[in-house]
Structure 1
């Protein structure tokens, strides 16, 4: 899949659509997938369990590391208790979109 169809810009940053697998054995990005409804998502897995926000925190840390940003720049915008999440990444949108495109390559 070309480009970063799982990412979109907003004022002051970007939004990423992610499908998270908690208790995934490792913290990693596993690529890009198309869901049954046609939505394109970034696949991620974390070792943390989905209790008390631990998996969300681990995901935010993973994404912050991938984008070389502080953890405070990444927040869960929606999907706090679901596998499908939207993360908000604060920063310069063009640079963030370029990095997101690299993740899909």
Structure 2
């Protein structure tokens, strides 16, 4: 599994596919999940409850902090009220992909070991 499989590029940034677990004990990436359409999503835990947009705000804040972009550069493109979300992150694609790959490197190593 590679981080490249959970995001796509678009003009001006990347689009990240998430499968969110609200009220999770551990925040952040937790693995990779196969989606019904054959694509992959990043399983993503967040402490916040899915009410009044709190979980979405927490996701955007955590992504902004870890990828070192402004909160205003990140938005929910689809799935605002669903566990399956598409998140748009505006910025230089290469830099965003590198930051995402560095953050997900431990998960990628784990999934490679599990496949062996």
TM-score over 0.5 for the pair = yes
Q: CA deviation at 1:3?
A: 4.3
TM-score, normalization by structure 1: 0.90
For 1:54, the equivalent position in structure 2 comes to 54
Structure 1 vs Structure 2 CA RMSD: 1.5
Q: CA deviation at 1:9?
A: 0.6
For 2:2, the equivalent position in structure 1 comes to 2
Residue correspondence of structure 1 range 39-78 to structure 2 within 5 A: 39-78=39-78
| Larger CA Rg, structure 1 vs 2 | 2
For 1:30, the equivalent position in structure 2 comes to 30
Higher relative contact order (CA 8 A, sep 6+): 1
Secondary structure of 1:98's counterpart equals helix
Q: Size of the alignment, in residue pairs?
A: 105
Separation in 2 of the partners of 1:33 and 1:90?
24
Q: Name stretches of at least 5 consecutive residues in structure 1 with no aligned partner.
A: none
TM-score, normalization by structure 2: 0.82
Q: Name stretches of at least 5 consecutive residues in structure 2 with no aligned partner.
A: 109-116
1:49-100 deviation line (CA, Å, top 9, x unaligned): 1111000001111111120112111111100000000000010012112223
Find runs of 4+ consecutive structure 1 residues off by over 4 angstroms. Answer: none
Which structure is higher in helix share? 2
- In 2, are the aligned partners of 1:9 and 1:97 still within 8 Å (CA)? no
For 1:97, the equivalent position in structure 2 comes to 97
